[in-house]
Chain A
Amino acid sequence: MHELSIAVAVVEQVEEAVRDQGRAVASLTLRIGELAGVVPEALDFAFALATEGTVLAGARLLIDTVEGRGRCEGCGREAPTGMPPVLWCTGCGATLTLLGGRELEIVRVVLADGPPGAESAEDGPRPAVAGLPTRDEEAGHVPHR
């Protein structure tokens, strides 16, 4: 259950990053590769405990799951590694290069309008939604004026 240690590490880093903002955290997005050795459900549970009494209390946890993918060094074929992963090429037998799946990253934090505690009762507990896309890619790349 190192997910609690991971949740605590997340909380520490986010608190440090938003310390000067004076606002509560509304949501937090993590990228977790399926080969990172972290169980999203366990992390979700630990997150609720680790955020208690912090600026992240009540924040929504959004998890982007990243599929394990590899590229064959022999024939160049790219494919999902599966889980448990097969890290040699099922086509030609050569060893794969891992393209993704080991991510364990804090992507971004969205701050609330108010300071910590100002809106904690606003809409009750917010369950984490695992695997949902969190960025509107098109909107995300429109130049901002």
Chain B
Amino acid sequence: MCRTVDLHQAVLARNDENALALRGYLGDRGTVAVNLLSSPGSGKTALLEQLLARAVAAGVPAAAVTADLATENDATRLARSGAPVRQILTDGLCHLEAGMLRRRLEGWMPEGTRLLFVENVGNLVCPASYDLGETLRIALASVTEGEDKPVKYPTAFGLAQLVVITKTDIADAVGFDREAFLRGVEQVNPGVPVLETSARTGVGVDALLAHVLRAADGEEAHVPVLAREHERYLDSHDHGDGTGPHVHDGDHGHGDGRGPSSGGRGRHDDVPGAAPVPAETGGNAP
């Protein structure tokens, strides 16, 4: 007799819960987090140095955490701005998770921090899947990376609330095709605002800080198509009250191997609607 447990749980439910809690934690302190995503070498740290210095100069209490697999080089650079900075070493992990960030903030983040910049691990794939409790998510790409970055990494750019182009001072020298880049952005994230910056010349840095401050003050950020809620279970069968996993026994034979009928011919009698028995599983229900 096989027994089926219907779970219908989001794989990243735990991170989502941690992110929700972190958002509350930050909100209680009047802090707004900005999550910065890009590939390695796109100039995140240089731009962040400028942003922090200008925030400090403008009297905006700003702090930053910077995540890398190894070295404290970025924290050392960012600290020159005069803002509190903390390095997070991920020990090989390719992305930050909300719980990990929370643990590093507790007992460290100075009281009264208004803006918390979170420089994610340089990677356009993995960090995109993890909500860090941020109010604003920014994806960055430098002019040297190729115009097709947004379509090559549709999740990272598709979930961004702001796209920032960096190193624009050398755009002409490297033959950056601005129109192609913007077309790619529009394809995966229609309507997302795009800012052009150069940490070297300072172009666009004030506009970027102003954008961040408007988001911090509650101006509604862009909502990407990929981030919009849809009726997730529209086409799947109804699971009644949806409260956590439930178990049902089936008496189907499975002489040809067990489990769901991968061949499609075996009877499969684990009926979702048939008096499900709620499993007591220690409360992982949403």
Contacts and interface: CB of A to CB of B under 8 A. Distances in A.
B259 A105 contact: no
- Determine which residue in A5, A60, A132, A134 has the highest number of CB atoms from chain B within 10 A of its CB, and name it: A5
A36 interface: yes
Interface string B61-102: 000000000000000000000000000000001110100000
Given A86-B187, A87-B226, A14 B273 contact: no
Contact of B225 (A37, A95, A108, A140): A95
Given A110-B4, A111-B2, A16 B187 contact: no
A119 to B, nearest CB: 9
Contacts of A38: 129
Given A16-B284, A109-B7, A27 B188 contact: no
Contacts of B268: 135-136, 139-140
Nearest to B260: A134
- Determine which residue in B5, B14, B129, B186 has the highest number of CB atoms from chain A within 10 A of its CB, and name it: B5
A12 B15 CA distance: 12
Contacts of B230: 97-100, 102
B174 interface: no
A129 B262 contact: yes
Interface in B190-208: 190-191
A129 B215 CA distance: 45
Nearest to A37: B155
A106 B7 contact: yes
B154 A106 contact: no
Contacts of B97: 5
Interface in A97-137: 97-100, 102-113, 123, 129, 132-136
B229 to A, nearest CB: 9
A60 B259 contact: yes
Contacts of B152: 84
B277 to A, nearest CB: 11
Given A106-B8, A111-B4, A17 B188 contact: no
A95 B9 contact: no
B210 interface: no
A88 B284 contact: no
A84 B151 contact: yes
A63 to B, nearest CB: 11
B95 A100 contact: no
Contacts, number: 197
B264 to A, nearest CB: 6
The range of chain A's interface size is 35 or more
A70 interface: yes
B91 to A, nearest CB: 13
Given A98-B228, A143-B274, A12 B11 contact: no
Contacts of B158: 35, 85, 87
Given A37-B128, A143-B273, A144-B271, A27 B5 contact: no
B226 A98 contact: yes
Given A95-B191, A141-B273, A143-B273, A107 B8 contact: yes
Contact of B258 (A26, A36, A132): A26
Given A84-B154, A84-B187, A134 B270 contact: no
A70 B165 CA distance: 28
A70 B186 CA distance: 15
B7 A108 contact: yes
B169 interface: no
Nearest to B265: A136
Contacts of A143: 271, 273-274
Given A20-B279, A86-B187, A109-B4, 16 more contacts: A2-B94, A5-B95, A6-B11, A13-B284, A16-B284, A17-B7, A17-B284, A27-B259, A85-B188, A87-B226, A108-B270, A111-B4, A113-B1, A136-B268, A140-B270, A142-B271
